[in-house]
Amino acid sequence: MACHFTAQEKAFVNALLKLKTEEECIAFLEDICTIKEIQDISQRLLVAKMLNEGEKYQNIEKQTGASTATISRVNKCLAYGSGGYKIVLDRIKTND
């Protein structure tokens, strides 16, 4: 898997990996992200989950409020991306 992140972006990833609890992660995200950024990222993850489960665009749009452009972008990442969504979705499914 090729990584095109800069040293600064990798430092951010490594900071995320240092978080140990849900509370720590929430505190960090609240400090580093705007509420809108957290909502947008959360929405994309829900869209990915629904697409992965075979939901149709219209139903996803209705249930999540995501635009068709966002749904299409997430779908493209699921199909042709780096596999990040798949890793997370598989791990979420395993923990359910």
Q: Which pLDDT score, from 0 to 100, does residue 94 have?
A: 83
Q: Which pLDDT score, from 0 to 100, does residue 96 have?
A: 62
Q: Note the pLDDT tens digit of each residue in 29-79.
A: 999 999 999 999 999 999 999 999 999 999 999 999 999 999 999 999 999
* Integer Rg of the chain from CA: 15
Helix (H) or strand (E) holding 26: helix 22-32
pTM: 0.89
pLDDT for 1 beyond 90:
no
Rounded to an integer, what distance in angstroms lies between the CA atom of residue 82 and that of residue 96? 24
